[in-house]
Amino acid sequence: MAKTRIKAKEKNGVVTVKTLSKHPMLSYVEAKRAKKEVNFITHFMAEANGKVVYEVSTSQFLSKDPYMKFKFTGAKKGDKVTITWVDLKGNKDVSTKKIR
Amino acid sequence: MLERRNFLGLSVLAFGVAAAPLNLSAVNFRETKPNLWKATKVDDAIKELFGTTSATEGKIKLRAPDIAENGAVIPVSFETDLKASKIAVFQDANPESAVAVFDIPDNAIIDYGIRIKMAETGTVTVVAQENGKLYKVSKLVKVTIGGCGG
Amino acid sequence: MLTRLLKASVLTSFAFFSLNATQFDAQAQKDKEELVKYFEAKFQDPYKDKNRFFLYSPEEELKDGYEKGLKHMDFGIGSYSYAKDAREQYEAIKEFPPYEDKIEDGEDLYTKEFANGNSLKTCFPDPTIGGDYPYFDTKRKEVISLTTAINECLEANNEKKWNVKKGKMATFQAFLAYSTAEAQKKMNIKIPTKEAQEAYERGKEYYYTQRGYLKLSCATCHIQGAGQRVRNEKLSPLLGQVTHFPVHRLKWGSLGTLERRMSGCIKDQGQVPPKNDSKQMHELLYFMAYMSNGMPIDGPDVRK
């Protein structure tokens, strides 16, 4: 099930995307304290029209339910943005949203 | 015999593909720079990622709070007109320093926002690399316990 | 002729005023107007009025850290209306608030059928009711809070009551608050009878009574102390204090109801909080909600 909420708007040729992904993002220290397994998103990527428009390798220090905001050009209203992320345990999530 | 070797090879390949990054063209610094994420000092992390620590101050606008409302949810954003190829966020308040490394695609507009966590008061540093040159900017973020609980 | 006209006009105005005197919320209205005047005066210019309101604050902080010229409706966002640094963080988080999916979950709870075929929608056909609670039930002669009303609906339909602080209660209230805010409704508490007025007065008395080993009253921090700093936080004001619930507190990492925040705060001041569905708690919330009458409902929201 897609676990990432996406808001994508285009204005004057610039697409602004805001995303919120559902993930506990437990750091090593937090996991130890909570007696749970450490797990956090390690790679997060956005694609539009077949091209990568945003890409980041991430650590245990992003907040729970991580938020990302980014901007790019080269897409218009109606095009789709696809977000893909992977976490330490190898789980993967793919979500798509049309640009408004 | 040959079939068995092929079968084994195929299954190893399949396993490898399953564990590899989903898009083989993705730039994954967690795999290419494993020591970066273990570095405990900001300068060590910068050296590990960029090969050097010499950087010019400026050319990046960094926004982070003076006093964090909550150390687990600290909004950090930065923007720059540099044609950067790589930008990284570091801090010195957690056991390890590297927070995130952005690989900047061609049509990106560098106006990025994330939310980070810091265990205590510390300095957030953003380093951008343009044509081999490094630029950096820092901000002190205070993290304390508030006065009221509940 | 003139004296007769004069006598007539005096008599009619006298009658007019005595009719108004039977309005049971006359005192409450006065209290609210005084409160608004106080807060608008306090945050007109904290730096300039240091000696009147902020005797212990450093001047730099008053100059750079506080917003000024605040008016009644500005206080809806609580301490974020005057605490500049905190405000920026609040707005950054509001770009994508963490409770958005809870609003949808709340809507699911609204229409989910009980075993007997009814649903919460049966009890609350109009979800834009966030500004009407707590209300004084003139038949039962007591104040009913939203939490109590929801639990009574569940009980009446043979469903299990919900925890009043978090979980489903908070999720469902998020949907109600969101619906009310979308309909642009305001806090609209009524004091219809003498008993209601007495309940209001009891709530007010609780708010202003010093308790516990720290000898603090609610007013000490949230009227007198509003805007002053306790460690790293600027205390929130009574004005607009209850319009934004349920609230996602960064500290909790989850949604919580008004009762959750109230009992937590009171406990932390070294006092024993009234039970969440007790008469005392209801009347305290009744008073607090009336003080925010006229302000838009803006729940759910984020706070630290």
The whole-number pLDDT of residue C85 equals: 93
* Mean pLDDT of the region C166-189: 96
Rounded to 5 degrees, φ, ψ at A48 are -145, 135
C189-199 tens-digit pLDDT: 999 999 999 99
Structural tokens at position B91:
């801090």
Label residue C14 by pLDDT band (50, 70, 90). Answer: low
A28 touches chain B (CB under 8 A): yes
Interface confidence, given as ipTM, is 0.94
A11 touches chain B (CB under 8 A): no
On the 0-12 / 13-18 / 19+ scale of CB atoms within 10 A, C296 is: middle
Low pLDDT (below 70) residues in chain B: 1-25, 146-150
**b/e per residue, A14-50, with b = 16+ CB within 10 A?**
ebbbbbbbbbbbbbeebbeeeeeebbbbbbbbbbbee
C148-162 tens-digit pLDDT: 999 999 999 999 999
Alpha-helical runs (H) found in chain A: 28-34
Please indicate whether residue C265 is annotated as part of the active site.
yes
* Mean pLDDT of the region C139-153: 96
* DSSP strand pairing (B133-141 vs B56-57): parallel
Structural tokens at position C191:
């004091």
The whole-number pLDDT of residue A99 equals: 96
Structural tokens at position C123:
């009890």
Q: Residue B96: which H helix or E strand, with range?
A: none
Residues of B in contact with C250 (CB under 8 A): 69-70, 72-73
Residue C107 has pLDDT above 80, yes or no: yes
Structural tokens at position C190:
């009524």
Going from N- to C-terminal start, the domains of chain C cover 25-97+193-303, 100-182
Closest of B50, B52, B61 to residue B112, by C-alpha:
B61
Alpha-helical runs (H) found in chain C: 2-21, 26-42, 50-53, 59-65, 84-94, 100-111, 120-123, 146-156, 168-182, 194-208, 218-219, 258-268, 279-291
Say if residue C125 is preceded by a cis peptide, omega within 30 of 0. Answer: no
Out of B69, B72, B149, the one facing C89 most closely (by C-beta) is B69
Residue C28 has pLDDT above 60, yes or no: yes
CATH of the domain at A79: 2.60.40.10
Distance between C129 CA and the closest CA of chain B, angstroms:
27
Which residues, 6+ apart, have CB-to-CB distance to A25 below 8 Å? A39, A40, A41, A60, A62, A63, A64, A65, A66
The whole-number pLDDT of residue C299 equals: 86
The whole-number pLDDT of residue C20 equals: 47
Distance between A70 CA and the closest CA of chain C, angstroms:
12
The whole-number pLDDT of residue C10 equals: 58
Least confident range of B42-51, C7-16, C172-181, C285-294: C7-16
Strands annotated E in B30-121 = 56-57, 61-63, 74-79, 86-91, 98-103, 108-116
Arithmetic mean of pLDDT over chain C: 92
Residue C231 has pLDDT above 70, yes or no: yes
Domain ranges, residue A82:
4-98
Residues of C in contact with B117 (CB under 8 A): none
CATH of the domain spanning C25-97+193-303: 1.10.760.10
The whole-number pLDDT of residue C67 equals: 95
> How many contacts, defined by CB atoms under 8 Å, are there between A and B?
109
The whole-number pLDDT of residue B2 equals: 45
- One fold for C25-97+193-303 and C100-182: yes
B145 touches chain C (CB under 8 A): yes
What distance, in Å, lies between the first and last C-alpha atoms of chain B? 70
* Mean pLDDT of the region C56-63: 92
Alpha-helical runs (H) found in chain B: 2-19, 29-32, 42-50
The whole-number pLDDT of residue B12 equals: 41
On the 0-12 / 13-18 / 19+ scale of CB atoms within 10 A, C22 is: exposed
Q: How many domains does chain A have?
A: 1
Closest of A56, A61, A68 to residue A26, by C-alpha:
A61
Order across the sheet with B108-116: list the strands. A4-11, A14-21, A67-73, B108-116, B74-79, B61-63
Alpha-helical runs (H) found in B51-96: none
* DSSP strand pairing (A92-98 vs A80-87): antiparallel
Alpha-carbon Rg for chain A, nearest whole angstrom, is 15
CATH of the domain spanning C100-182: 1.10.760.10
Label residue C6 by pLDDT band (50, 70, 90). Answer: low
Label residue C9 by pLDDT band (50, 70, 90). Answer: low
* Mean pLDDT of the region C115-131: 95
The whole-number pLDDT of residue C233 equals: 83
Label residue C230 by pLDDT band (50, 70, 90). Answer: confident
The whole-number pLDDT of residue A45 equals: 96
Distance between B47 CA and the closest CA of chain A, angstroms:
17
Domains, chain B, ordered by start:
27-141 (2.60.40.2470)
Q: Is C102 left (phi over 0), alpha (psi -120 to 50) or beta?
A: alpha
